[in-house]
């Protein structure tokens, strides 16, 4: 029988691998769009790989979350690391959705402008970086160590906002998206 | 549309057996019959006999309505990678009506800090033997059997759910309480849990007792005595030192009076770090807010049109054609 622990390892590797590839491809796409190292002729390739890998990583993420919950000991969120993992992965999810949405709406023109190409590259890389940090926290939670231990990150500090402030931030974000759509149409 | 439906359905069906058929992280303590009344560990098509040896220890005689203790001992432990082992105290092994309470016993505490007949313990890789002790209030006069049982998996998680039980039950003879027997009051229930770093003042309520001596030990360690203060007629108090790390302190009282001297069972006092808690609603709302804010923020950022946009020579045709 395949346990949820094993499935979690599989789904996590799928997710993290996709995001890692997306992060590297966004870096190369950014370099190519800035005409660095003679990579500009590969921009089309890097662009497609970056966004496809990012989308595939997003598709694999729900399975990683579901198997992670099934395999974690105890009930509910009972450890600071789990909260921080949730926050980081949600930030990454939002950023990745934003990056993909911009690419879908603007098409390849996103690489045509200085402003757009810079932030598309940084947004994609940041989304990947956040997921890799999340995976590193998972290693710390399950095995007590990870590669990022050398950075001495404050794993036990949970930046939890009051409920009212989270609600306010959520409303501002939703209002921003609605007004943005209205302005676009 | 049809194709999407079948793909999604097939994917869900593929996940369903692996997620739904096992609890490798356990189910937590609870009131469970033998083999959980016929779960995976009780399914004759799936389960296997555990190689572990389960035995019980207890006093052969208990007094009606007074406290006694029963210890389930597990040797040659085999368990999962997480070291999870489920341990039962049962009144029978039929799979229904097996709780000690079905025979009239009342569980006052167990050594894991709970009050249920099923507990889950974490066994360290170096440990080959573990004990779980229950403190029980004896039922009406009569002879009663008690059984021990275990549930576990294997290190690699690839094999069947295992089930083990004590080869022979213990038989406890519950007899009438002698009139002048020095004893704890019939409703006495000791404190079983505390936080790290706290000295605990315990109170004893007794009947027919003229003097009390209390012994304590860190589980399995050297026995020490502590000073007992008489508060009033039949009420006593004593202090147990604070624990600096999660551990179990056991204590018992020697009760002297006109009747035959009595010694209580070892009571367990578990010390644990204060549990880490968080407002889960606030955490989930903040998570959702993070998704929306990061998405909206990035889209807004990319909508911004700086005054001086540096256009490159990229055209859509050149981009799609791979010329750049």
CB atoms within 10 A of CB B154: 15
Residues 109-168 of A with CB under 8 A from B: 109-116, 119-120, 123, 158, 160-163, 166-167
Is there a contact between B314 and A108 if contact means CB atoms under 8 Å apart? Answer: yes
Which residue, A27, A5, A45, A56, is CA-closest to A117? A27
* pLDDT, tens only, B242-289: 888 888 888 889 999 888 888 888 888 888 887 777 888 888 899 899
Q: What is the mean pLDDT of residues B67-94?
A: 87
Q: What's residue B308's pLDDT?
A: 46
CA distance B100 to B106: 7
- Which among B157, B294, B304 has CB closest to A91? B294
Q: What is the mean pLDDT of residues B4-28?
A: 67
Place of tokens 């974690």: A72
pTM listed for this prediction:
0.57
Q: Which residue of A has its CA nearest to B299?
A: A98
- Which among B281, B294, B301 has CB closest to A119? B301
More confident residue, B219 or A113: A113
CATH code for residues B23-176: 2.60.40.10
Q: Packing angle between helix A43-71 and helix A114-143, nearest 10 degrees?
A: 30
Q: What's residue A23's pLDDT?
A: 92
* pLDDT, tens only, A34-75: 788 877 788 888 899 999 999 999 888 888 877 777 776 666
> Is any Cβ of chain B less than 8 angstroms from the Cβ of A179?
no
Name the DSSP letter for residue B30. Answer: B
- Does ipTM surpass 0.90 in this model? no
From chain A, the residues in CB contact with B302 under 8 A are 98, 102, 106, 110, 115-116, 119-120, 123
Is there a contact between B320 and A44 if contact means CB atoms under 8 Å apart? Answer: yes
Q: What is the mean pLDDT of residues B283-306?
A: 86
Q: Write phi, then psi, for A178 (nearest 5 degrees).
A: -65, -50
State what percent of residues in chain B have pLDDT above 70. Answer: 84
Q: What's residue A185's pLDDT?
A: 64
In chain B, which residues fall in CATH 2.60.40.10? 23-176, 178-276
Topology (CATH) of B178-276: Immunoglobulin-like (2.60.40)
Q: What is the mean pLDDT of residues A25-32?
A: 90
> Is any Cβ of chain B less than 8 angstroms from the Cβ of A59?
no
Q: What is the 3-state secondary structure (H, E, C) of A24-46?
A: HHHHHHHHHHCCCCCCHHHHHHH
- Which among A102, A106, A108 has CB closest to B319? A108
Q: What is the mean pLDDT of residues B156-167?
A: 77
Instruction: Determine the number of helices (DSSP H) and then strands (DSSP E) in chain A.
Output: 5, 0
From chain B, the residues in CB contact with A180 under 8 A are 296, 299-300, 303
């Amino acid at each position: 029988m395949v346990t949820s622990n094993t499935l979690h390892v599989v789904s996590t590797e799928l997710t993290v691998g996709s995001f890692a590839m997306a992060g590297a491809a966004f870096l190369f796409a950014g370099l190519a769009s800035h005409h660095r190292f003679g990579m500009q002729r590969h921009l089309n390739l890097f662009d497609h790989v970056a966004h496809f890998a990012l989308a595939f990583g997003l598709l694999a993420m729900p399975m990683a979350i579901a198997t992670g919950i099934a395999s974690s000991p105890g009930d509910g969120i009972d450890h600071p690391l789990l909260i921080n993992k949730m926050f980081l992965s949600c930030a990454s999810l939002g950023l990745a959705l934003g990056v993909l949405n911009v690419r879908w709406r603007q098409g390849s023109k996103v690489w045509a402008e200085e402003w757009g190409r810079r932030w598309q590259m940084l947004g994609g890389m940041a989304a990947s970086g956040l997921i890799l940090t999340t995976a590193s926290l998972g290693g710390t939670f399950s095995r007590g160590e990870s590669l990022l231990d050398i950075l001495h990150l404050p794993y036990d500090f949970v930046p939890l906002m009051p409920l009212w402030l989270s609600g306010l931030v959520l409303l501002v974000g939703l209002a921003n998206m609605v007004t943005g759509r209205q302005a676009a149409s | 549309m049809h194709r999407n439906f079948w793909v999604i359905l097939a994917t869900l069906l593929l996940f369903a057996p692996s997620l739904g058929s096992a609890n490798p992280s356990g189910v937590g303590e609870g009131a469970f019959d033998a083999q959980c009344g016929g779960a995976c560990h009780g399914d004759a098509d799936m389960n296997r006999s555990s190689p572990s040896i389960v035995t019980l220890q207890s006093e052969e005689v208990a007094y009606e309505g007074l406290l006694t203790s029963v210890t389930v001992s597990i040797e040659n432990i085999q368990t999962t990678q997480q070291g999870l082992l489920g341990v039962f105290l049962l009144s029978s092994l039929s799979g229904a009506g097996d709780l000690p309470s079905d025979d009239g016993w009342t569980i006052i505490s167990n050594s894991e800090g709970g009050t249920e007949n099923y507990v889950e313990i974490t066994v360290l890789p170096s440990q080959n033997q573990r004990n779980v002790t229950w403190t029980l209030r004896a039922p009406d006069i009569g002879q009663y059997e008690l059984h021990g049982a275990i549930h576990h998996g294997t290190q690699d998680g690839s094999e069947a759910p295992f089930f083990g039980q004590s080869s022979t039950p213990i038989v406890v003879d519950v007899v009438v309480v002698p009139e002048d027997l020095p004893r704890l009051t019939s409703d006495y229930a000791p404190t079983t849990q505390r936080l790290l770093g706290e000295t605990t003042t315990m109170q004893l309520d007794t009947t027919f007792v003229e003097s009390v001596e209390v012994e304590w030990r860190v589980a399995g360690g050297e026995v020490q005595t502590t000073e007992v203060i008489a508060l009033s007629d039949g009420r006593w108090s004593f202090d147990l030192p604070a624990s600096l790390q999660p551990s179990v302190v056991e204590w018992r009282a020697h009760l002297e009076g006109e009747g035959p001297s009595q010694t209580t069972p070892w009571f367990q006092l578990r010390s644990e770090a204060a549990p880490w808690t968080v407002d889960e609603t606030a955490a989930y709302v903040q998570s959702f807010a993070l998704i929306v804010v990061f998405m909206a923020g990035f889209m807004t950022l990319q909508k911004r049109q700086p005054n001086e946009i540096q256009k490159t020579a990229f055209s859509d045709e050149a981009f799609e054609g791979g010329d750049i």
